[in-house]
Structure 1
Amino acid sequence: MPKLRKPTREEINAYRKRLIERAEAGALRYPLAVSEIRRTMGLTQEQFANLVQMTRRQIAEIERGEANPTVETMQRIGRIFGFTVGFVPKNPSDDEPEPALKM
């Protein structure tokens, strides 16, 4: 498994700002958000799982959109980046794929 490069503080802040902007616009969906939060922090799935007290397999399933996490689990993951779980209005473009965060 490839090792992720730990981003600098400036990179983390820039990634965080972009994620927050997308979240505020209602353009950030859960499976991709988890992956992007983890990669923004420069963590492997295993490291991130340890941080949020889950297994690597659970994180992988969430990132692939195959899991059905509880609200508590979503809150635990989101809290790391200052996010909370909530409803956002549906946009007509919601059916289009989300662009991935470029790192």
Structure 2
Amino acid sequence: MPRIRKPTREEIWDRRTAINEKARSAQLRLPEGIAEMRHALGLSQAEFAKVFSLTTRQVSEMERGGANPTVATLERIGRVFGFQIGFVPRATPGAP
């Protein structure tokens, strides 16, 4: 399996900014959001799991959409990006 290249500080900043923009526009969704956050930090699934006190399997299942993470887990992950858990209205087709 290829190793993930560690991003530079500038790349991390750019990735975090992009994720924040997606969140502000209600476009950041699970499970893709978990993978994007992990990639933004330049971490493998195992490293990400260790940082957030998870197992690699839990991270993998969250990224595939096969897990049901607790609010506490999502808050731990989101806190790094300045996020909190909340409800966001769904965009309806044809709505401004």
TM-score (norm 1): 0.86
For structure 2, the 5+ residue unaligned runs are none
CA distance in 2 between counterparts of 1:83 and 1:75 reads 8
Q: Deviations over 1:57-85 (max 9, x none)?
A: 00000000100111111111111222111
Which has the larger Rg?
2
Give the residue type in structure 1 aligned to 2:82. Answer: G
Number of residues paired by the alignment?
Answer: 93
Match of 1:79 in 2: 79
Match of 2:58 in 1: 58
Match of 1:48 in 2: 48
Aligned positions of 1:26-41 closer than 5 A: 26-41=26-41
TM-score (norm 2): 0.92
Give the residue type in structure 1 aligned to 2:5. Answer: R
Q: Structure 1 residue 92: deviation in Å?
A: 2.6
Q: Tell me which of the two structures has the higher relative contact order, counting C-alpha pairs closer than 8 angstroms and 6 or more residues apart.
A: 1
SS at match of 1:87: coil
Same amino acid, percent of matched pairs? 51
